[in-house]
Amino acid sequence: MVSVPEPWRLKEKPGREVEAVVFDAYGTLLDVHSAVARHADRLGEMADDFSREWRVKQLEYSWVRSLTGPSRHQDFWACTVDALRFVCARHGVTNESFMAELLDAYRLLSPYPEVPAMLRAIRAKGAQAAVLSNGSPMMLADAFGQAGLSTQIDALLSVEAVGVFKPDRRVYALAERRLGLPAARMMFVSANPWDTQAALAAGFRCVRVNRTDAPDEYGLAAAGVPSLPDLAGLPELLH
């Protein structure tokens, strides 16, 4: 049973209060470490550090490009490629064909095992399921298509529609505009605390996915944001 803090709990009154559940993609629905995991035997004992550093650099490049202005914007795929090249150079990986294999694997990241059933349950309750992601349209179409999840998602929303990365406020406004709902009638779900904090500031009801039992950040717990160990229990919050 999911424990929901009282400040967040849905009030009992006619009509559905949450009409759409908006998910982050990378690290929330899709396992960002599954690309390296498929080739872990070729990287040996540095595989875990390699994967973590790739993710950190990917996000760093997205934030710096946002902060330095529209003329510096490149899509998330470019950030992903540049981050991989940096991490490969740092770890002495020089095989270009291996880098290409890693990038191919990143385009087809594995969803977490509970995701398909969870999405079906969300939509069975009458709520829309949407994705709001830094990923480029190509990245999102490839990942969700190969995972067989496209039919369970009502909208795949990429930041490329606004030309800036999360946590810029314009990204979260995109979900309101495209889904035709105010933020207060949507639930935003992310495994990234900084993403959760930004969505909360934009007026969404938020849920944090905390797969590693990491400490609270950004005062999310005090703000009444539920924290789940995975997505299996999420549909309970729509009762």
Q: How far apart are CA 174 and CA 98, in angstroms?
A: 36
What single-letter DSSP state applies at residue 70? G
Please return the burial class of 96, using the count of CB atoms within 10 Å of its CB with bins 0-12, 13-18 and 19+.
Answer: exposed
Catalytic residue among 24, 75, 142, 195: 24
Is 31 part of the annotated catalytic residue set? no
3-state secondary structure 2-52: CCCCCCCCCCCCCCCCCCEEEECCECCCECCCHHHHCCHHHHHHHHHHHHH
Q: How far apart are CA 157 and CA 178, in angstroms?
A: 8
What residues act catalytically? 24
